[in-house]
Chain A
Amino acid sequence: MWSNEFDYTGPIEANMETGFLPRARFQALLDTLHQAGYRCVGPQVRDGAIVYDTLGKIEVLPRGIRDQQAPGRYRLEDTASPRYFSWANGPQALKPNLFTPHEALWRSERSTAGAIRFVDIQPPADLIAVIGVRACDLAALRLQDRHFLEGAFVDPYYAARRKNVFLVAVHCTHPAETCFCVSTGDGPHATQGFDLALGELDDGYLVQAGSDKGNTIAAKLPLVPATDAHRQTANQEMQEAARQQTRSLPTRNLRDALFANLEHPRWENVAERCLSCGNCTSVCPTCFCHSETDETALDGKQSLHVRQWDSCFTQGHSYIHGMTIRADTRTRYRQWLTHKLGSWHDQYGRSGCVGCGRCIAWCPVGIDITEEAREICQGGGHD
């Protein structure tokens, strides 16, 4: 059984500080992970955004880069800071590494006599270490775990990747204008679900281990004792990061308020602005919808059964024998918001929003989930 192979379950209180990694020795973290067999994946600047990709050298990290985010806006700027993580987030979270955008599930082969053979496609077995995971992304991962691993059916592809991922969190000290993780209770401080957590300072990193795997790696790092000054600065910066957030959701459970307002005029109002493009669902670290389709070889001898990310903003998402349940943008936006902030509580015991703000920044027309939720739940509909 897949479900027995995990050691991620249960909140891990990571109060064990293991030491301080001087900035000049940061490459040692990547080297140690490489030696342990991990492919490192970390933040780097590409096409004007911070993305996560294979990382070999610390020189690739976004040193001194800051992100300026606003509704419908994402820009990077250079600063003189020596830090690698002085930004909030990019369009990707952990999601593409575990629940991949496009993946073959199985293959069918047809013989000339017409017999069909089904071939199981094995999930990948490579070890991945993700560097620079945010607290909001860890909260989102916990939700994806509940969806893909903790129901009656355990998804073997997600499970294989999940088992092999090593998570290096970095506490967030530079929230963007779009961030609201404090109001959802998910950040900016990573408190659980990581293997290692780093508190970044100008001269290096406070290192905490959150698992046995994390302890093993930390023991191989060239750590020096952390000072009280380090701890004090790190704490101050995290408090300041929380204080800087201006956006918030009205409460953590909007289920009843949303379902009591299904005919609120604001749904029509937001539908007039929404392009139904699905960007919000692509960047959302918790959205799990996917479609399954067949990709057939041109010679007709085999067909790949693949799944790929889908969005409740598409026409096809609710298509059923000749009709579409959600043919218009109003019902699609309403489905998305009532699910994300409402019925997610029924399914997984909490909201599906972790306050990362990606859907705000990456919406081409700058729709702000916090504003829409407030208008709909507090009865403040306007034209």
Chain B
Amino acid sequence: MTNASVPHEIEVVERIQESPTIFTLRLRFTDPELHAAFRFEPGQFNMLYLYGVGEVAISIVSDPDDERLFNHTIRVVGRVTRGMAQLKAGDRLGVRGPYGRGWPLQQAQDRDVMIITGGLGCAPVVSVINYVIRRRERFRRLVIMQGVKHSDDLIWRQQYARWGKQPDTQVLVAANEGATLWPWHVGNVTELFDKVEIDAARAVVMMCGPEGMMRVAVDNLLERNVHESNIYLSMERSMNCAVGLCGHCQYGGKFVCKDGPVFSYPDVKPLFDMRGF
């Protein structure tokens, strides 16, 4: 009998400091067979285990075809992530996963792709941006919208600048507070909808971030005649088990860990942005 809820040992190969509170761990299984067998889709998450402290659900940001390592970009917010921030190359962790339903990348092929993210919730969608950029010919127009509170919060700034120079690609970035030499918009990212050029009838939209921001974005998209079933959101709720048993991530009748974290908008519409669910 094997118990799928038991983690496996992984090793930190490299640690990258992305901002004062955000870091990326580049990881591999210490068992080469497990490493070779590990497969995931952009938008899925792992349960990372810090020895003696506990587990935390973190989305996978690296490319699913990268066979060498898998990456997690982590913001320091609680007990486990604070401990993980101290890790260095060679340190060991536990992992179980991947879990959940990822982004609708098959459905997005040959269509306009719009990716919207706000706050520091950019990691789950950066994986999908990179995925699309690396397979650019499979998709039509690409629009990237990213909002941050302060311009210093924007990690991978050079990447955004580089993406903006790609053909048929639009990058719209906003910071509520911009520092000197901030080249993009100052204000809410949702104020940039007027600049968006997409074919609403053929667009697939993927978004992640604070629910208030996603609410405004959904309303804007619906107004622009994007069909609600082509809008996908990555939801976040407390997760302990990641397999639909512990009950923490319930959202109405859904379990975010197994029915999500990526949902099509009609699936979450009845309770979306309602306080307390």
Interface residues of A (CB under 8 A from B): 2, 105-106, 108, 110, 114-120, 122, 147-148, 151-153, 155-156, 259, 262, 288-294, 296, 300, 303, 305, 307, 310, 312, 317-322, 325-326, 328, 330-331, 334-335, 338-339, 343-347
Interface residues of B in 232-260 (CB under 8 A from A): 236-238, 240-241, 243-248, 250, 252-255, 258
- Given A115-B92, A153-B243, A346-B252 in contact, is the A322-B5 Cβ separation under 8 Å? no
Which of B1, B7, B255, B276 is A118 in contact with, Cβ under 8 Å? B7
| Complex CA–CA separation, A234 to B46 (angstroms) | 56
**In the complex where A116-B92, A293-B54, A321-B78 touch, is A307 in contact with B237 (Cβ < 8 A)?**
no
CB pair B237–A318 under 8 Å, yes or no, is yes
Interface of B is mostly: loop
Q: Which of B75, B92, B240, B250 contacts A290 (CB 8 A)?
A: B240
Are the CB atoms of B248 and A317 closer together than 8 Å?
yes
Name the B residues within 8 Å of A119 (CB-CB).
6
Contact of A116 among B51, B78, B275 (CB under 8 A): B51
Minimum CB–CB distance from B164 to chain A (whole Å) comes to 29
Residue numbers in B under 8 Å from A320 (CB-CB)? 236-238
> Is the CB–CB distance between B270 and A259 below 8 Å?
yes
Taking CB atoms, residues of chain B closer than 8 Å to A321 are: 75, 77-78, 236
A110 lies within 8 A of B51 (CB): yes
Give the A-binding residues of B (Cβ under 8 A).
Answer: 1-9, 30, 49, 51-55, 75, 77-78, 90-94, 236-238, 240-241, 243-248, 250, 252-255, 258, 270, 274-277
Take A114-B91, A151-B258 as given contacts and tell me if A331 and B276 are in contact as well, using a CB distance cutoff of 8 Å. Answer: yes
Identify which of A117, A290, A294, A334 contacts B52 (C-beta below 8 A).
Answer: A294
B3 touches A106 (CB 8 A): yes
User: Is A343 in contact with B252, judged by CB distance below 8 angstroms?
Assistant: yes
Closest residue of chain B to A332, judged by CB? B276
Beta-carbon nearest neighbor of B10 in chain A: A116
Q: How far is the CA of A148 from the CA of B245 in the complex (A)?
A: 7
Residues on A with beta carbons closer than 8 Å to the beta carbon of B237: 318, 320, 325
For A335, list chain B residues within 8 Å (CB). Answer: 250, 276-277
CB distance from B79 to the nearest CB of A (A): 10
A182 to B6 alpha-carbon distance, docked (Å): 42
Cα A325 to Cα B276 in complex, Å, equals 5
What is the bound-complex CA distance between A63 and B28, given in angstroms? 62
Query: A residues within 8 A CB of B252?
Result: 259, 338, 343, 346
Given A114-B91, A262-B274, A319-B238, the answer on whether A312 and B52 have CB atoms closer than 8 Å is no
With contacts A289-B247, A291-B246, A320-B236 taken as known, whether A343 is within 8 angstroms of B253 at the C-beta atoms is: yes
Closest residue of chain B to A297, judged by CB? Answer: B52
Q: Would you call A118 and B94 a contact (CB within 8 A)?
A: yes
